[in-house]
Amino acid sequence: DQQVKQNSPSLSVQEGRISILNCDYTNSMFDYFLWYKKYPAEGPTFLISISSIKDKNEDGRFTVFLNKSAKHLSLHIVPSQPGDSAVYFCAALPNSGNTPLVFGKGTRLSVIA
C-alpha cells in the first residue's frame, strides 16, 4: 500500500515555463516532507523540504507547497531549465521517532528547450 503517491509518472514542460510536480500521502502521522532529484546513473540528491508547521518553503527557483488538510504537496520549479530534467521523488517522514523516509515512485520531468 503506497503511503506516498506520485500519480504522474512523467511530465514534459517547455523551458522557461513552470513545472508542477504533485505528491499525495495517506499517513496523517507524516510531518516532514522532502523532494529528491535523481539523474540517470546517480543517486538521488536532496532538493528541498518542508515541515508540517509550514505551508510553503522557497529556495531559489524551487518552491514546495503543503496542504495538510488535503494531504497533498507540490513542487514548483520556475522558470524550468533543461538541466532540471530528472526524476523527482517525494518523500515523507513520520513524527514517531527513528523511522526511514517513505518515498513515492517518482515523476520523470523533461524540460524541452
Q: Is 100 in the site for another protein (CB under 8 A)?
A: yes
Residue from the set 49, 52, 74, 110 that interacts with another protein by CB under 8 A: 49
The least distance separating another protein from the CB of residue 80, rounded to whole angstroms, comes to 23
Q: Is 53 in the site for another protein (CB under 8 A)?
A: no
Q: Is 104 in the site for another protein (CB under 8 A)?
A: yes
The candidate with the shortest Cα–Cα distance to 73, out of 2, 7, 12, 1, is 7
Grid coordinates of 55: 505551508
Q: Is 103 in the site for another protein (CB under 8 A)?
A: yes
Is 82 in a helix, a strand, or coil?
Answer: helix
- Residue partners of 86: CB distance under 8 A and separation at least 6: 37, 38, 39, 108, 109
- Interacting residues toward another protein by CB under 8 A: 6, 32, 34, 36, 41-46, 49, 89, 91, 93-94, 97-106
